[in-house]
Amino acid sequence: MASADSPKTIEWTDLMPEEDLRLLENMPMVDHGGDGMTADQPATGLRPQDRDLAGDIDAAISRAMNDSEGERTWEDALVSTRTREEFDNTDIRLPGFVVPLEFDDDMNIREFFLVPYYGACIHVPPPPPNQIIFVRFPEGFQLEALYTPFWVSGTLRLEKIENDTALAMYAMDAKEIVEYTE
C-alpha cells in the first residue's frame, strides 16, 4: 500500500479532460493500405479524398488559439490545451519516453519533454499539448536510448511551455527518474 508521502501513479489519459478523451475515442479508424479508412467506417466525409485533414487540424489549431467555443471535434482534441486543474501541484508518478531538450557537456539531460509514446516530437507528430510534460531535473541523468521508457516522479504543475519542438501544458520538477519496469 502506498504511503501518504508517495506520489500518485497516474496514466496519460488522466491528464486529459473527459471531453477530449471522449472525442479521441470517436476518432475515425485509418487503414494505411486502402483509401485511408477502414471498411466499417461510415461514409461521413472523413475519407481523405472527401476532406482536407491537414486543413481540419489547422482549423482546430486556430480555434484553440482563439479560445473559440462551439462544437468541438476529434481534430480539436488532437491539439487541445485543456488541462485538469485538480493535478496542479500534485505529486505524481507516470511512465513515459524522454525527448531531450537541455543537457550539459557530459550529456546529462537536465530538461526534457515526457511523452506517452516513443518517437513523439521527433519521428512522429507530437501528442496533444495536454499529453506532454516539460520536466526539469537539475541533477541530470544519462539516456542510453530514446526508446527506453522511464518512470518519472515529481510535482506536476499547470504551466505552458513552448519551444521549437512542442507545446506542453504541464510541467514537472522531477524528484526521481528510473528506468521503467512493470
Run of H or E residues at 75 = helix 74-78
pLDDT at residue 30, rounded to an integer: 65
- Residue that finishes a domain, picked among 30, 46, 78: 78
Q: Give the residues across from 87 on adjacent strands.
A: none
169 and 111 housed in the same domain: yes
Residue 3: pLDDT band (50, 70, 90) is low
Q: What is the CATH number of the domain that holds 139?
A: 2.40.50.870
Of 78, 108, 124, which one is at a domain's C-terminal end?
A: 78
Task: Inform me whether the pLDDT recorded for 4 exceeds 70.
Answer: no
Judge if 162 and 103 occupy the same domain: yes
Rama region for 53: left / alpha / beta (φ>0; ψ in -120 to 50; rest)? alpha
Tally of domains in the chain? 2
Look at residue 156 in the predicted model and tell me its pLDDT. Answer: 98
> Could you tell me the pTM of the whole model?
0.75
Give residue 18's pLDDT. 93
Q: What are 126-168's pLDDT values in tens digits?
A: 889 999 999 999 999 999 888 999 999 999 999 999 998 899 9
44 vs 137, higher pLDDT: 137
58-117 pLDDT, tens digit each: 555 555 545 555 688 888 998 999 999 999 999 999 999 999 999 888 889 999 999 999
| Placement of cell 526539469 in the chain | 136
* Coil vs helix vs strand at 161: strand
What helix, strand, coil percent values describe the chain, rounded to 5?
20, 35, 45
pLDDT at 61 (0 to 100):
52
Q: Which residue has the higher pLDDT, 121 or 7?
A: 7
- Residue 55 — pLDDT band, cuts 50, 70, 90? low
pLDDT of residue 20: 93
Domain of residue 110, residue span: 85-179
On whether both 122 and 137 belong to a single domain, the answer is yes
Return the pLDDT at 87.
Answer: 97
Query: Are 30 and 94 members of one domain?
Result: no
Confirm whether 73 is domain-assigned. Answer: yes
* pLDDT greater than 50 at residue 44: no
- Tell me: do 100 and 134 sit in the same domain: yes
Cell 512493470 belongs to 182
137 residue type, one letter: F
